[in-house]
Copies of this chain bind each other. A is one copy, B any other.
Amino acid sequence: KDSYDITLLPGDGIGPEIMSATTGVLLALSKRCNFELRTTEALIGGAAIDAVGDPFPDESLRQCLSSDSVLLSCIGGYKWDANPRHLRPESGLLKMRKSMGLFANLRPARVLSQLVDASTLKREIVEGVDIMVVRELTGDVYFGTPKGIDVIDGKRVGYNNMIYGEGEIERIARVAGDVASKRSGKLCSVDKANVLDVSQLWRDVVTEIMSSEFKDVELSHMYVDNAAMQLIRYPKQFDTIVTGNIFGDILSDEASMLVGSLGMLPSASIGDGLGPGVFEPCHGSAPDIAGTDKANPLALILSAAMMLRYDLDRDAEATILERSVEAVLDMKLRTADIKQEGDGCRLVGCIEMGKAVADIV
């Protein structure tokens, strides 16, 4: 196959800018490597709320499902913060994940040698850190029922069910086992099994899957509170981490902050491999700098690389893209978010950064 349908979700804030920088790069790459990308834009987040009153309209879902892969910029902004929950941009994200069956979220936290000083942690602690967090994305307390806010005897009670079925745990364990065996073979499963029944089941099922299907993967278990500490104390002890939705939400953000340059971090949300995945940066929509050409497009460009690798089976092209990003860093180009005082680098905007990558792919 050498022609692909890609849905682009530019989203909110800096989303459209970094998307246009990234499509420029993809166009250059596709020319060089002789494949074709046909792109169609669709609505999500605040933009979708404003246009059609739904943060992820059915039309967008249909468009995504009919394509080979989906590239998403970022969503959200102050403008919609006071809306009721179902009319907030985040709800579009959750609806997208659930309705597209994207149960696995892969978030690499790799410290690039060019940016090691951007971290708030000491150089010797973060140099060489290369962690992949595999987060379950469609279960847990995010989607569990019963949930709600009831009034009982005149008093409000709020509740959400933290729940996992063994099938949900098995499939994310298989993704994690796969990822770990393609990396160092070391997998750390994070839970709170000393307190929670749902975590005890998590631990049991992950152990079962690894010992029956991934005999070469070296599995360890860690409590979530300890993991939050160890990520700061000695992050190099980790290779692949697998955990549930809410713990993964917290730990993957913590891990990305070790890297110090959130503007560089991509992510992949994937399902059973039959439908398309969604590829998006870890950073937010930065409404304060939207439209000023200050955004860093590299995380979305690296997300496009993950798309090439996971959805389009174009590993070589993914690698070209990743190397090109490192190359522009070596050429000492920096957007404002990764510029350090006295680093001897040149400050560039989003457009110029995108062009620089496009020029060398």
Interface residues of A (CB under 8 A from B): 85, 88, 90, 94, 120-122, 125, 141-142, 144, 147-149, 152, 155-167, 192, 194-202, 204-205, 224-226, 228-229, 232-234, 246-247, 249-254, 256-258, 262
Contacts and interface: CB of A to CB of B under 8 A. Distances in A.
A152 to B, nearest CB: 8
Given A141-B141, A200-B85, A120 B159 contact: no
Contacts of A85: 194, 200
A231 to B, nearest CB: 8
A357 to B, nearest CB: 26
Contact of A197 (B149, B155, B254): B149
Q: So how many copies of this chain end up in the complex?
A: 2
A200 B121 CA distance: 33
A156 B147 contact: no
Contacts of A120: 121-122, 125, 232-234
Contact of A246 (B192, B202, B254): B192
14 contacts: A142-B196, A155-B167, A156-B201, A156-B205, A158-B163, A159-B161, A159-B197, A192-B249, A225-B249, A225-B250, A228-B254, A228-B257, A229-B262, A232-B232
B195 A90 contact: yes
Contact of A253 (B88, B162, B226): B226
A216 to B, nearest CB: 25
B233 A249 contact: no
Nearest to A117: B122
A157 B205 CA distance: 11
A125 B126 CA distance: 15
